[in-house]
Amino acid sequence: MQVVFEQVINGLTIGSFYALIALGYSMVYGVLKLINFAHGDFFTLGSYVGYTILVWVSGLTVVHFGLWGLIVIAMFVAALAVALTGLAVERVAYRPIYPTGRLPAVVSALGASIFIQNAIMVVWGPRFQAYPSKLIPNIKFVLGGVNITLLQILILLMSFILMAVLYVVIQKTTFGAAVRASALDRETASLMGINFKKVIFFIFFLGPALGAMAGVMVGMYYRQISFTMGWNYGLKAFTATILGGIGNLPGAMFGGLILGVLEMLGAAYISAAWKDVFVFLILILVLIFRPNGLFGERVAEKV
């Protein structure tokens, strides 16, 4: 039984990475109906920017801000740098292409993905990079026989706070309602006085920022990062988005967490090598019975 709980905690940890990345996919898809294939690479870029702060300029920062300050700064700088990259990519690779339709934009997104990946390779080199090993004290807590590390607690805490904040902004504020309205019907939203460009700014700032923070957390958790890892995480996060119901933010969050837990349980009880097969099998089953995803809603519209 303890193994189950431990695997659930491991699963929630990697699930929260998926969830944070999935939110970016889901927001962009919801508003623009665009699958932003570059999003996984925003995540990688965040991981590398965080790495740079933690390794290259850590000495100075630790002296002034302490270890926790350093981590906060690494997260913040990564989020900001990647958010700005996200806005630039939207401006350069997507905005000129919207009028030509959805498919060309998807191709452009693939191009942006390849571009960012190679840019990372050029700047940081093709080899794996390693996050500092003793960043967070390796403290283990035992709760009812279940092991959980300090790092895991921190990751879960940070992810849940970020998700809760985003949830409140999107679901409880008028600006959040404007984002959802723009996703439903852009033209009518503009009749409300909603500036669509501001909505795009919002999603292309926040989505990449959340992905970047997930990137820093992944670096701290696995310690090893590579310039191609965005593809794998992006694919999983995209799967989580579909699982939860694309365009639905709570769906993306729960989709990510569920996916992470399933993956870890599959790895423990079926086979570590076959864990992805297990995950996608579940995805297929969900889509057969709930084509709009677990949380995808369809309100019957009366005309």
Partner 1 sequence: MTKEALLAVDDLHIFYGSIDALKGVSLFLNRGEIITVLGANGAGKTTLLNAISGIVPSAKGSIRFNGNLLNGMPAHEIVNMGISQAPEGRKVFSTLTVEENLNLGAFTRRHRKGDVLEAKERAHALFPILKKRYRQLAGTLSGGEQQMLAIGRALMSAPKILLLDEPSLGLAPILVNQIFDIIGEINRQGTSILLVEQNANKALGIAARAYVLENGQVSVSGPSEELRSDEKIREAYLGGRALKKK
List binders of partner 1 among 4-33 (CB under 8 A). Answer: none
| CB-CB contact of 131 with 54 (8 Å) | yes
Residue 191 contacts partner 1 per CB under 8 A? yes
Q: Which is nearer to partner 1, 234 or 245 (CB)?
A: 245
- Under 8 Å CB-to-CB from 247, ≥6 apart: which residues? 26, 29, 30, 183, 296
| Helix then strand then coil, % of the chain, to nearest 5 | 75, 5, 20
Q: Which is nearer to partner 1, 175 or 274 (CB)?
A: 175
| Pairwise CA distance, residues 89 & 155, whole Å | 28
Residue 175 contacts partner 1 per CB under 8 A? yes
**Judged by CB under 8 A, which of 114, 184, 270, 285 binds partner 1?**
184
Q: Which is nearer to partner 1, 144 or 301 (CB)?
A: 301
List binders of partner 1 among 231-260 (CB under 8 A). Answer: none
| Pairwise CA distance, residues 222 & 143, whole Å | 23
Q: Which is nearer to partner 1, 2 or 173 (CB)?
A: 173
Residue 303 contacts partner 1 per CB under 8 A? yes
At closest approach, how far in Å is the CB of 121 from partner 1? 41
Q: Angle, nearest 10°, between helix axes 275-289 and 249-269?
A: 140
From the CB of residue 272, how many other CB atoms can be counted at a distance below 10 Å?
11
Residue 103 contacts partner 1 per CB under 8 A? no
| Pairwise CA distance, residues 6 & 9, whole Å | 5
Residue 194 contacts partner 1 per CB under 8 A? yes
Q: Which is nearer to partner 1, 180 or 223 (CB)?
A: 180
**Judged by CB under 8 A, which of 99, 101, 144, 193 binds partner 1?**
193
Structure tokens belonging to residue 210: 């959340």
Q: In 3D, which of 206, 248, 215, 246 has the Cα closest to residue 233? A: 215
Q: Which is nearer to partner 1, 133 or 174 (CB)?
A: 174
At closest approach, how far in Å is the CB of 288 from partner 1? 24
**Judged by CB under 8 A, which of 178, 212, 261, 264 binds partner 1?**
178
Q: In 3D, which of 267, 295, 296, 288 has the Cα closest to residue 279? A: 267
Residues that bind partner 1 (CB under 8 A): 174-175, 177-178, 180-181, 184-185, 187-196, 297, 299-303
